[in-house]
């Protein structure tokens, strides 16, 4: 199968109802989500705490698409196997999480998952250059990680475009995460991102009893991104 460069919407369940993850995941998938994004935070690398491996394992049977696990933890290496065993399809670790990101990415692949490399806004994308050979995806953060609902950092658009040029035609996804909504989706798509994480902009206004709102939100983000690509 050829590499899928089309726009993929990945709702972040950080914005879901924390008492109802199974139904929330089923609802966003039924309403058009391509991937499900799981934000793992450790209260150390980022100032917030979320999901350990048992929680991620409990999400697994509900995810029929792709379980995309974003690790905002340091150290990260000791936990890779546990998140792979929990069923992550993609495991993304931060470049800033330790001194040996190349080893981390190799360990993710060895554990049987696709390897993602995340970059904080303060990290130049050029730092990813020597690591691209062990990457299936690069995540360019468009907020400082830690919380949903933050404002998009527009200066990251130039970084995305530079990364796009660095990657060329290699089969590596560019993901963006933070402040993605119908107004910023066209900008990141045009700059070269193909995987768009969105938390508040997907879950806003909806619920498991009103899942149609999720569908409308997902379609509006996707259409805005695709229209920008068609116009380019």
Rule CB under 6 A: which residues touch ligand DX5? 12, 14-15, 37, 39, 70, 143, 145-150, 177-180, 197-201
CA distance 140 to 120: 7
Helix pair 21-30, 212-231: axis angle to 10 deg: 50
39 interacts with Zn ion by CB under 5 A: yes
Asked if 57 and 79 touch (Cβ cutoff 8 Å), the reply is no
Q: Could you list the active site residues? A: 39, 177
Contact segment (CB under 5 A) with Zn ion among 106-114, 146-154, 158-166, 176-184 equals 176-184
According to DSSP, the β-strands at 8-11 and 36-41 are unpaired
Mask for 54-73, x = binds Zn ion (CB under 5 A): ----------------x---
Quick one: what does residue 146 bind among ligand DX5, Zn ion, none, with the CB cut-off 5 to 8 Å set by partner type?
ligand DX5
In the complex, minimum distance from the CB of residue 1 to ligand DX5, in angstroms, rounded to a whole number:
27
In the complex, minimum distance from the CB of residue 199 to ligand DX5, in angstroms, rounded to a whole number:
3
Nearer to ligand DX5, 1 or 221 (CB): 221
The residues, ordered by sequence, that sit 6+ positions from 117 with a Cβ below 8 Å of its Cβ are 92, 93, 94, 95, 101, 105, 128, 131, 135, 137, 138, 139
Total binding residues for Zn ion by CB under 5 A? 3
Q: What is the DSSP letter of 76?
A: -
Judged on CB neighbours under 10 Å (0-12, 13-18, 19+), 6 is: exposed
Asked if 215 and 29 touch (Cβ cutoff 8 Å), the reply is no
Quick one: what does residue 192 bind among Zn ion, ligand DX5, none, with the CB cut-off 5 to 8 Å set by partner type?
none
Q: With CA atoms as reference, report the closest residue to 130 among 90, 160, 150, 103.
A: 103
Nearer to ligand DX5, 145 or 206 (CB): 145
Nearer to ligand DX5, 17 or 230 (CB): 17
Q: With CA atoms as reference, report the closest residue to 187 among 196, 127, 114, 94.
A: 196
Quick one: what does residue 199 bind among ligand DX5, Zn ion, none, with the CB cut-off 5 to 8 Å set by partner type?
ligand DX5
Nearer to ligand DX5, 77 or 181 (CB): 181
Residues at the interface with Zn ion (CB under 5 A): 39, 70, 177
């Amino acid at each position: 199968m050829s590499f899928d460069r089309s726009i993929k919407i990945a709702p972040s369940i950080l914005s879901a109802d924390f008492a109802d993850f199974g139904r929330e995941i089923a609802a966003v998938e039924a309403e058009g989500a391509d991937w499900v994004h799981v934000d793992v935070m450790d209260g150390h690398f980022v100032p917030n705490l979320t999901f350990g491996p048992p929680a991620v394992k409990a999400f697994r049977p509900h995810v029929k698409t792709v379980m995309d696990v974003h690790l905002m933890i340091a150290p990260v290496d000791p936990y890779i196997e546990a998140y792979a065993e929990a069923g992550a399809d993609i495991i993304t670790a931060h470049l800033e999480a330790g001194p040996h990101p190349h080893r981390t990415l190799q360990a993710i692949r060895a554990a049987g998952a696709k390897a993602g490399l995340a970059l904080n806004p303060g990290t130049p994308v050029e730092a990813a250059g020597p690591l691209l050979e062990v990457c299936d995806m690069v995540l360019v953060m468009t907020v400082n990680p830690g919380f949903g609902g933050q404002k998009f950092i527009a200066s990251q658009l130039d970084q995305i475009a530079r990364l796009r040029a660095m990657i060329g035609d290699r089969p590596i996804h560019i993901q963006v995460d933070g402040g993605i909504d119908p107004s910023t989706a066209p900008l990141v798509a045009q700059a070269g991102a193909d995987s768009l994480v969105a938390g508040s902009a997907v879950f806003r206004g909806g619920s498991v009893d009103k899942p149609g709102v999720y569908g409308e939100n997902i379609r509006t983000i996707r259409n805005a991104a695709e229209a920008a690509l068609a116009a380019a």
